[in-house]
Each structure stands twice: as C-alpha cells, then as structure tokens.
Amino acid sequence: MEYMLSRISLGDSNNPFDEDTYIELCRPYCPECMSTYGFQEIRVGDLPEEDFVTDDHFDVDNLEVQTVFLCPVCGECHKTVEEARNCCIEESVYKCLNCGKVINEDEYNDLDTTPEEVYEWWAVSNWFGEKLKDQGCIVVESWGKSYWGRTTTGQSISLDGCVARIAKNMEILEGMDHEWD
C-alpha cells in the first residue's frame, strides 16, 4: 500500500491508486480546535438541539434581550430551535468529531487540509468501508476493494474511535461499561 500510494504522483497506469486516492488521504483541519480528527456529515434535520448556536438579540419592540437560534447553514436568526432547523432542513453540515464545531458546506470545502499519517492498512469489506468513511476514517477504494488506513496502532481495533462509534450506532456495544470518547 505504502509503495503504491507513494507512486501516485508518477502517474503509472498500473497503479491501482490515483490522484483521487490522494485527496481521500487528506484531512481537513478543524478551524476551532485545529485537529484533523475529521468531520461527520449531518443533515440539518438530524442535527441535535445542542448543536444549534444561539445568540443574544435585542428586541426593540419589547425592550428585552432574547435568545435566538442561528441556522447552521445560512446563519439566519430564528426564535426557536425548530424554526432554525426547518430553515435549511435538507442541507448538510459538518461536525468536528473532536470538538463538535458545526460548519456549513462552503466552510468545509474551504478548510486547509493535510495528508494524514497512516500506520496500518487493512483490507475491509465495502460495507464496512462505507461505515468507516461515515465516521471520518480514511478509506480508499480501488478495483472494487476497500482499504482502511488506521491512524492509530498498537491498540486493539475495537478501541479505535471510529470503530467504537460504528459499533455504538449499531448498538453492538450497548450495555458495555466503557467511555468511548
């Protein structure tokens, strides 16, 4: 894997990986915490209430300060979380897996990136590859096969944050007494 990936820039047609693979290896920096932990894409309709940013708005009619909720996509102010969620409900936002910062798609596409250091490559099923990708993990595909680039090493795979979250989503680990984050 290392060898083939290192030869991407040579444009060898026998190389199963190309420039697109390289882009997959690049991780965006979070503008808030500067980590490259990754982002989760979330539909605004599925965004939890606590992820909506609030602001204090001075209401000139009633002469009082009101809390308003900002639409995470367009930034417009709304009186309730429901209104803020309904504003751009079909759009997606990106949430930092490290600090929880939520940004919109334009901001996400403008983030600086850096190639992630991969310690181990694992061949995984395409199904598991998709799940890992959803969790912000590095997964490259070639010729119908998926490869997962682990950025941690020396610990059991079940302790990897992304694997733990997948398991959690599938409720496999439900009831296990462990703090995963």
Contact footprint for Zn ion (CB under 5 A): 30, 32-33, 71, 73-74, 87-88, 96, 98-99, 101
Provide, rounded to whole angstroms, the least separation between the CB of residue 169 and Zn ion.
20
Provide, rounded to whole angstroms, the least separation between the CB of residue 82 and Zn ion.
13
Q: Select 72 or 129, whichever has its Cβ closest to Zn ion.
A: 72
Provide, rounded to whole angstroms, the least separation between the CB of residue 122 and Zn ion.
26
Q: Select 34 or 157, whichever has its Cβ closest to Zn ion.
A: 34
Q: Select 38 or 129, whichever has its Cβ closest to Zn ion.
A: 38
Instruction: Provide the token pair at 97.
Output: 């897996």
Provide, rounded to whole angstroms, the least separation between the CB of residue 2 and Zn ion.
28
Provide, rounded to whole angstroms, the least separation between the CB of residue 161 and Zn ion.
14
Q: Select 88 or 139, whichever has its Cβ closest to Zn ion.
A: 88
Residue listed under structure tokens 């919109």: 104
Strand ranges, E, within 32-160: 39-43, 54-59, 64-70, 77-78, 92-96, 102-104, 113-115, 120-124, 138-142, 145-150
Contacts 24+ apart (CB under 8 A), 129-136: 131/166, 132/162, 132/163, 132/166, 134/40, 134/41, 134/166, 135/38, 135/40, 135/97, 135/161, 135/162, 135/165, 135/166, 136/37, 136/38, 136/39, 136/40, 136/97, 136/162
Q: Select 71 or 132, whichever has its Cβ closest to Zn ion.
A: 71
Instruction: Provide the token pair at 131.
Output: 């799940």
